[in-house]
């Protein structure tokens, strides 16, 4: 339980950056509404591909440990929440401020 309370040990900054970049790339380069996939699903698919690539590179370099999947899940959750709660509103304010 003590290890679980140390949330910083379960955060992977690279995964967070990959998820946020994937969300940006998804909305920028795959903007058409899709009947099959919502924006959230598209972000999940693209970010999962990038995180798997990152995991392969980390495994080949010997830097991956047994907690990688847990860190990736926690980091994905934090990144998507950070985007929805903070970055999305910040982008709207910047866009509205530029149009005034």
Supply the pTM of this predicted model. Answer: 0.75
| pLDDT of 50 | 92
Contact call for residues 19 and 86 (beta carbons, < 8 A): no
pLDDT tens-digit map of 9-57: 778 899 999 998 988 888 788 777 667 778 778 888 889 999 999 999 9
| pLDDT of 2 | 62
pLDDT tens-digit map of 60-83: 988 778 888 888 888 998 888 888
Question: 3 pLDDT band (50/70/90 cuts)?
Answer: low
């Amino acid at each position: 339980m003590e290890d679980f309370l140390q949330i910083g040990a379960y955060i992977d900054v690279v995964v967070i950056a990959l998820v946020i970049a994937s969300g940006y790339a998804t909305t920028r380069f795959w903007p058409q509404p899709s009947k099959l996939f919502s924006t959230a699903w598209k972000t999940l698919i693209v970010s999962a591909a990038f995180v798997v690539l990152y995991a392969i590179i980390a495994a080949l370099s010997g830097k991956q440990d047994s907690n990688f999947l847990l860190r990736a899940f926690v980091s994905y959750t934090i990144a998507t929440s950070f985007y929805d709660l903070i970055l999305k509103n910040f982008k709207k304010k910047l866009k509205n401020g530029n149009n005034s």
